[in-house]
Structure 1
């Protein structure tokens, strides 16, 4: 396949790849075994290259990853952690995060990664709702945890990576004191591929967060999309880096675990994202493969329009997801980075289901791609019936592939929420809540969340197309489009804009942007109102929170 792709970069092998793909899911399977233990015999095999903001660097080999995971598993066992228990951890991109994950999974326990960005209330809810028995943290979240620890009655053990100068009234086991004293051997727990492995709480748009429980087999379900979106990963010198938080599906299932599954090296950057630092990391660690959010790519594009004139880059594949990429950024990646980006789509509940692999089927600017091999995807209506080609529908994934075999990508259900799990399905179709249009060639064109769509003067408006159009203007660094309630039209199209450092917000710029959209899109799509912000509200996974802006407009309408 590689030779064919190099010979003709515009080849289209999609139909053959999709039709001939078959799942191979073993009955007994454990993520920790395939991502660490099987590589532990080679002392020269590097798992993680770590760097923090202070310039401190570390290297962790696969044998070190496995032996330290064994030590942590032994410590957790002494603390009473058993198979099926939930163990939480709040750690940045650092070796201890990977060690912790492997240690939990090889015990047959359930790993619950939590973001450093969570405040006390968010941490408390997840720890209480999951009934977590232990937590592993570092100093960056100690204050948040200290304030809510007494309210988490099921939590019996806390292990702190950086234990110096901590509150003695809140006992914790110091990683550096206890873990190295443990035996370096630990027997892998025998697990089924369908056994629970990872619990990730999704933010959702309404109500409390829901805990999506993933089985060990979910990693297998992710692999076809990962391999394809990374241009047939792995190759001999592949090195992976992504700024995506390892506490979220994007960082965990799209970066860390699949890289370890193939025994390759992943770069861990423990620090804030910046466009300049991103280019420095790509150059310093000879990164060949990456996953970058569109938001990150937009920053990189605006900060350094011609990066190859300043940095020696070795990128051979770039995947993006989380928000629509848009044609402007797509073409910048091709021209400035020399890489055709492979846009991908997925959710925590069933990840890596749709996307591109431009070496084997052409990537179309603005499209999130085709269903990846192994996944049967359709657009359905409110009644769960497939919609016709060219009409918008909700993206849905069937429990079984085109050959009638179970698709291993699915979550097991929502933690302690059977009603929400049932509501996620229409028969055998699992709903995503996202709208798209499928063209005659099977490419999906994202239309936005079902609750992001709105009507204005009878026209159905999808924010993504307008946002992508605005981003083509040199003054726009980021944009979000929401409805503004209006008595005559029902809603007006309103855009929130973050301007680039070289431009200033002004009435003249408002008129210029309105005229710009009018020229490129339909007359009813241009923003009747524009408001400038220093920054858009974002989720911890890098998605624009249109819901916050939408609710703000509703509240404003009530008082006007």
Structure 2
């Protein structure tokens, strides 16, 4: 079954219909001014599309009344509640540029981003207020810091409710920067990624509509948070564009908190990351997931081990649409499809995107099952990195985005993850993919999570080393190490087995669930 890799002509025709004067907040909500169906459910209740639209317009007015002008930047360090879409879309509606951030970042990370982004204002949750105040104390550009104490609490909520819902005229264009996202930093310090208004519309049309088939009757829960690209699409732009209902979990998505939400709100669409799917399956409450009524799931952030995908679908009856996305391209651009799933692969190019593999000289690799760097052409690519010209030139080369991911493509056109370019290792003259070894380890009944990195032996020769988190009920013993090594040898070529295995309580990860292997290489 050979798949088509060229961008769909229908998508290109659709792109031509996006007008020059365009605002993504207006695009999402303008047709739902009188819609009384639920748009958002958070821990404090539900809000209709009519209520959401009014709150967004009030927020646009409030932010302008507080002194923010078009193109000014505002940092949003808040949780997943109704105030996130209200402030995010309210800022965009007024031409102000929101920058959502993970509230759990360290003070030094906040200080770096505050200085790097040159924000004029910050909205922060009460729990992080002290940390943000400390980080912003050296900034000369921050004019005010407002606290999020809930929609009806003192702080930004009261300002929004007191403002008039003034429908500002659209003064933005489709190619204008709408918001920034900071990359998750899986390979180092985060970079400010600038996205245009039209980029959001592209991801909605290409992935939400043409792959997921999201509809107004859907209830969507994204355990992946709103402050990064994957969660922003899942929990905000995709459901709002479809007229569906988004369910928010402000707390950390642990197996218990996720199962509680799934069994109380009964979403039809669940968006997670591989480590969460693995943890849910390992939970003693996993049987409860069989009756929640899921229609479909998505996974991104890290390649989904095939064993996890198959087991979760067997338990819930809902397939997991595993895919590859990035902050630079805003959402998923390679994906499996409903009825066309190959667990272990990242699927095929999403309609509207083109993918190819290139060798170390930048030449296209035509031969199947050959590892190369993945480069992608798509209309949701960011404008570039803020104040990092060299990195922008290295990543965004004309219409092509260089992902830094190593992949191979089979004869049917399905792409299989091999690792980050700097994670690959050559063992006995052969390339070894960390993900391949990790997938073999995870299929062992004793292993919950695994990460594999290159390690040098006494002769300075590189071999695989594995860091393993064991499942509850198993002991990390020398006998288990030998058992795992034999197990991997039985599933992969013999040179690929981990020469060293170290047991750990948890693996270092970004907020998106990506394993930070660079931290393990220096362990």
Given the two structures, how large is their TM-score scaled by the length of structure 1? 0.88
1:508-529, Cα deviation, whole Å (9 max, x unpaired): 1111111111111111111111
**2: distance between equivalents of 1:69 and 1:59?**
15
Could you tell which deviates more after superposition, 123-132 or 204-213? 204-213
In 2 relative to 1, CA 303–199 (structure 1 residues): closer, same or farther, beyond 3 Å?
Answer: same
Question: 1:176: how far off?
Answer: 3.9
- Secondary structure of the residue aligned to 2:27 is helix
Structure 1 runs of 4+ with >6 Å offset: none
Question: 1:149: how far off?
Answer: 2.3
**1: distance between equivalents of 2:2 and 2:69?**
47
Question: What residue number does 1:394 align with?
Answer: 373
Could you tell which deviates more after superposition, 110-119 or 407-416? 407-416
1:181-235, Cα deviation, whole Å (9 max, x unpaired): 21122314332111101111114455532111000111122121233442x111x
- Secondary structure of the residue aligned to 1:353 is strand
**1: distance between equivalents of 2:123 and 2:260?**
30
Question: What residue number does 2:209 align with?
Answer: 227
Instruction: Tell me whether 1:248 sits opposite 2:228 in the alignment.
Output: yes
Question: What residue number does 2:304 align with?
Answer: 325
In 2 relative to 1, CA 273–205 (structure 1 residues): closer, same or farther, beyond 3 Å?
Answer: closer
Question: What residue number does 1:9 align with?
Answer: none
- Secondary structure of the residue aligned to 1:297 is helix
In 2 relative to 1, CA 39–425 (structure 1 residues): closer, same or farther, beyond 3 Å?
Answer: same
1:284-331, Cα deviation, whole Å (9 max, x unpaired): 1120011110000000111148525x6521111111111111121121
1:354-399, Cα deviation, whole Å (9 max, x unpaired): 111123xx2112110001111111111233221123211111113x
Instruction: Tell me whether 1:439 sits opposite 2:419 in the alignment.
Output: no
Question: 1:492: how far off?
Answer: 2.1
**2: distance between equivalents of 1:201 and 1:444?**
27
Q: Is the 8 A contact 2:306 2:343 kept in 1?
A: yes
**2: distance between equivalents of 1:16 and 1:155?**
46
**1: distance between equivalents of 2:196 and 2:157?**
31
Question: What residue number does 2:517 align with?
Answer: 546
Question: What residue number does 2:22 align with?
Answer: 29
Q: Is the 8 A contact 2:195 2:382 kept in 1?
A: yes
Question: What residue number does 1:185 align with?
Answer: 166
Question: 1:20: how far off?
Answer: 4.9
Question: 1:458: how far off?
Answer: 2.1
Q: 1:161 aligns with which of 148, 154, 160?
A: 148
- Structure 2 unmatched ranges of 5 or more: none
Question: What residue number does 1:4 align with?
Answer: none
Question: What residue number does 2:444 align with?
Answer: 473
Question: What residue number does 2:344 align with?
Answer: 366
Mapping for residues 61-76 of structure 1, pairs under 5 Å: 61-76=48-63
What is the total number of aligned residue pairs between the two structures?
515
- Secondary structure of the residue aligned to 1:151 is coil
**2: distance between equivalents of 1:300 and 1:414?**
36
Aligned-CA RMSD value: 2.1
Instruction: Tell me whether 1:151 sits opposite 2:138 in the alignment.
Output: yes
Question: What residue number does 1:125 align with?
Answer: 112
Q: Is the 8 A contact 1:229 1:344 kept in 2?
A: no
Instruction: Tell me whether 1:458 sits opposite 2:445 in the alignment.
Output: no
In 2 relative to 1, CA 118–352 (structure 1 residues): closer, same or farther, beyond 3 Å?
Answer: same
- Structure 1 unmatched ranges of 5 or more: 1-11, 52-56, 167-172, 399-406, 553-560
Question: What residue number does 2:325 align with?
Answer: 346
Instruction: Tell me whether 1:215 sits opposite 2:193 in the alignment.
Output: no
Question: 1:37: how far off?
Answer: 3.1
Question: What residue number does 2:490 align with?
Answer: 519
**2: distance between equivalents of 1:83 and 1:105?**
9
Question: What residue number does 1:54 align with?
Answer: none
Question: What residue number does 1:403 align with?
Answer: none
**1: distance between equivalents of 2:177 and 2:49?**
24
Q: 2:239 aligns with which of 259, 278, 283?
A: 259
1:53-104, Cα deviation, whole Å (9 max, x unpaired): xxxx311111221222222222211222111111111111101111000111
**1: distance between equivalents of 2:25 and 2:399?**
30
Q: Is the 8 A contact 1:283 1:311 kept in 2?
A: no
Q: Is the 8 A contact 1:229 1:317 kept in 2?
A: no
Mapping for residues 110-121 of structure 1, pairs under 5 Å: 110-121=97-108
Could you tell which deviates more after superposition, 204-213 or 310-319? 204-213
In 2 relative to 1, CA 19–65 (structure 1 residues): closer, same or farther, beyond 3 Å?
Answer: closer
- Secondary structure of the residue aligned to 1:502 is coil
Q: Is the 8 A contact 1:344 1:368 kept in 2?
A: yes
Q: Is the 8 A contact 1:219 1:258 kept in 2?
A: no
Mapping for residues 373-452 of structure 1, pairs under 5 Å: 373-389=351-367, 390-398=369-377, 407-452=378-423
Q: Is the 8 A contact 1:279 1:311 kept in 2?
A: no
In 2 relative to 1, CA 18–336 (structure 1 residues): closer, same or farther, beyond 3 Å?
Answer: farther
**2: distance between equivalents of 1:148 and 1:533?**
32
Question: What residue number does 2:67 align with?
Answer: 80
Mapping for residues 300-315 of structure 1, pairs under 5 Å: 300-304=280-284, 307=287, 312-315=291-294
Q: Is the 8 A contact 1:305 1:336 kept in 2?
A: no
**2: distance between equivalents of 1:315 and 1:229?**
17
**1: distance between equivalents of 2:166 and 2:22?**
20
Question: What residue number does 1:140 align with?
Answer: 127
In 2 relative to 1, CA 388–273 (structure 1 residues): closer, same or farther, beyond 3 Å?
Answer: same
**2: distance between equivalents of 1:146 and 1:114?**
15
- Secondary structure of the residue aligned to 1:315 is coil
Mapping for residues 85-104 of structure 1, pairs under 5 Å: 85-104=72-91
Given the two structures, how large is their TM-score scaled by the length of structure 2? 0.94
**2: distance between equivalents of 1:16 and 1:250?**
23
